[in-house]
């Protein structure tokens, strides 16, 4: 185990942080930010960045704050919006399909093949239609692109407002 992993465990609080669930930690963190201005400012400086608005239609010149770390819809990883480049994201545009014959040997409809467990056990039997690659040889993807935010903008678009 690397030394850096052991450091936070050195104190009882460190151990408590390591043991608590994400949900609990989020709740604690929010309550700290709500009670303590100093902590809130520190959290904002680490978790928010100023948006660079390039849309020509945006008439408000106010600087908007947006989350710095967010999840990518393509590769499903967390990324930092300040360091997002065309090379950062690798993914398969198509999802993996169970195509390998091995999946069906001795399987008379007795068990599901299109499952995460089967993908783990027989990665070579799952192929991507986008590139013909399989999960074993190319698990990460055949396309490089920018990471894409799940919720690219908090302000509602005209279309979604009309609903």
Catalog residues that contact Zn ion under the rule CB under 5 A: 72, 74-75, 89, 92, 128, 130-131, 142, 147
Least Å distance between CB 126 and Zn ion? Answer: 12
Closer CB to Zn ion, 44 or 124, in the complex: 124
What distance in Å separates the CA atoms of residue 79 and residue 146, rounded to the nearest whole number? Answer: 10
> Which residues fall within 8 angstroms of residue 77, CB to CB, at 6 or more apart?
71, 147
Closer CB to Zn ion, 39 or 123, in the complex: 123
- Tokens (6 digits) for 11: 């104190």
User: How long a stretch of residues is the chain?
Assistant: 163
**109 conformational bin, left if phi > 0, alpha if psi -120 to 50, beta if neither:** left
Least Å distance between CB 71 and Zn ion? Answer: 9
Closer CB to Zn ion, 60 or 150, in the complex: 150
Least Å distance between CB 147 and Zn ion? Answer: 4
């Amino acid at each position: 185990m690397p030394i850096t992993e052991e450091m936070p465990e050195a104190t009882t609080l460190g151990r408590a942080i390591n043991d608590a669930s994400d949900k609990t930690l989020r709740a604690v963190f929010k309550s700290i930010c709500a009670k303590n201005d100093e902590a809130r400012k520190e959290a904002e400086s680490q978790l928010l960045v100023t948006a660079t608005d390039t849309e020509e239609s945006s008439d408000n010149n106010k600087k908007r704050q947006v989350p710095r770390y967010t999840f990518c819809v393509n590769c499903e990883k967390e990324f930092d919006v300040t360091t997002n480049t065309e090379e950062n994201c690798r993914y398969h545009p198509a999802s993996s399909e169970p195509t390998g014959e091995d999946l069906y040997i001795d399987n008379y409809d007795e068990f599901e093949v299109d499952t995460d467990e089967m993908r783990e056990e027989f990665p070579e039997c799952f192929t991507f239609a986008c590139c013909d690659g399989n999960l074993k040889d190319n698990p990460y993807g055949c396309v490089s692109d920018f990471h894409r935010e799940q919720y690219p903008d908090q302000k509602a678009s005209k279309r979604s407002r009309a609903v």
